[in-house]
């Protein structure tokens, strides 16, 4: 495994976002009302590296058996509220361009009134990931955490265009932004990936990770740029959640390694190396996610499979 060197303590990652049902149509078939949501994908991926605490909301229709399964994987589900009503349900479809989903319908249900209130234990989190939610809620989470060592966030076109000023307020408070290529262009107003990253970094986050689907991911830091390839898979079944699982492995790796913003100043070479290794960990994790609908592939992923694929990717990029 792309294991962080000298990782002596487990560091927990707090993730706040959606837990949902998805109905998905792809060229490979259709899956009805399967498990989805950003925090679901993120937490499973991250748990391969570090313990995770998740905060979200579900309805009475959500299977408690899944929450029990998560809790067996170093995932603290005490922050998941179960309220009266139905769980958030997204319906989407992919054509032959598997890099972009078309939203057919969105039923926010109980997620419409989601207002994350952190438990005392969650407010002490050292590593925080703000998944794709209203930037006002992202700021609310940051108002509640005491002194995080590293904060990362994600977003989507809906928030970038719908609440641009609020999202910019969030960006001023985070260390890392993880978005896809289209979102980076929309946020920056640039169609050149390097210029887009430069403008976004000027908005607050010192590190920008631009996810590029089948082309991997590009890391931008004050020290330079790193191009990470995607691991080539034989068959892509469902790309949903690939970006969230990428972020989960990325943040889990950094947490387990004890990476924090101070390291950028005290040991910039180590900081850069660990960020690059974290991106590679994310690319490998995403390659498993796309091999089945929902998070089915992640839920049956074995550590040995992860290790073998990580070694294979490292060989592909070595001279």
The stretch 30-45 carries a mean pLDDT of 97
This prediction's pTM:
0.94
Number of other residues whose CB lies within 10 A of the CB of residue 112: 10
If one looks up domain 13-317 in CATH, what number appears? 3.40.1190.20
Mean pLDDT of all residues in 32-48: 97
Tens digit of each residue's pLDDT (9 = 90 or more) over 188-238 = 999 999 999 999 999 999 999 999 988 999 999 999 999 999 999 999 999
Other C-beta atoms lying within 10 Å of the C-beta of residue 126:
18
Q: What is the DSSP string of 203-227?
A: TS-SEEEEE-GGG-EEEEETTEEEE
Please check the confidence at residue 240 and state whether its pLDDT lies above 80: yes
Mean pLDDT of 244-249: 97
At 10, is the pLDDT very low, low, confident or very high (cuts 50, 70, 90)?
A: very low
- Higher pLDDT, residue 1 or 61: 61
pLDDT at 98: 87
| Euclidean distance between CA atoms 185 and 162, whole angstroms | 15
Q: Is the pLDDT of residue 263 over 80?
A: yes
Chain mean pLDDT for the chain: 94
Calculate helix-pair angle for 268-289, 242-257, nearest 10 degrees.
150
So where are the chain's domains? Answer: 13-317
Locus of tokens 């994310």: 282
Angle, in degrees to the nearest 10, between helices 164-171 and 135-144: 30
CB 260 within 8 A of CB 149: yes
Which of 62-71, 98-107, 168-177 is predicted least confidently? Answer: 98-107
């Amino acid at each position: 495994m792309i294991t962080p060197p000298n990782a002596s303590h487990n560091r927990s990652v707090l993730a706040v976002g959606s837990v949902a049902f998805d109905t998905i149509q792809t060229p490979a078939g259709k899956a009805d009302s399967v498990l989805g949501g950003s925090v679901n994908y993120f937490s499973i991926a991250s748990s391969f590296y570090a313990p995770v605490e998740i905060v979200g909301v579900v309805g009475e229709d959500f299977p408690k058996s899944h929450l029990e399964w998560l809790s067996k994987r170093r995932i603290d589900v005490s922050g998941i509220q179960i309220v009266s009503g139905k769980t958030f349900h997204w319906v989407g479809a992919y054509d032959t361009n598997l890099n972009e989903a078309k939203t057919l319908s969105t039923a926010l249900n109980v997620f419409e009134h989601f207002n994350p209130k952190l438990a005392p234990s969650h407010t002490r989190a050292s590593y925080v990931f703000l998944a794709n939610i209203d930037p006002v809620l992202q700021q609310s989470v940051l108002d509640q955490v005491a002194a995080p060592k590293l904060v990362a966030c994600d977003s989507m076109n809906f928030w970038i265009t719908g609440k641009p000023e609020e999202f910019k307020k969030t960006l001023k408070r985070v260390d890392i932004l993880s978005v896809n290529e289209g979102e980076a262009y929309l946020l920056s107003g640039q169609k050149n990936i390097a210029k887009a990253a430069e403008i976004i970094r000027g908005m607050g986050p010192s590190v920008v990770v631009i996810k590029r689907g089948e082309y991997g991911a590009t890391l931008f830091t004050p020290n330079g740029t790193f191009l990470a390839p995607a691991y080539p898979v034989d068959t892509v079944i469902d790309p949903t959640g690939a970006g969230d699982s990428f972020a989960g492995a990325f943040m889990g790796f950094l947490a387990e390694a004890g990476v924090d913003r101070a390291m950028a100043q005290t040991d910039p070479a180590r900081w850069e190396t660990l960020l690059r290794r974290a991106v590679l960990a994310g690319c490998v994790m995403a390659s498993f996610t796309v091999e089945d609908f929902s998070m089915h592939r992640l839920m049956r992923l074995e550590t040995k499979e992860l290790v073998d694929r990580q070694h294979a990717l490292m060989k592909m990029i070595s001279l």
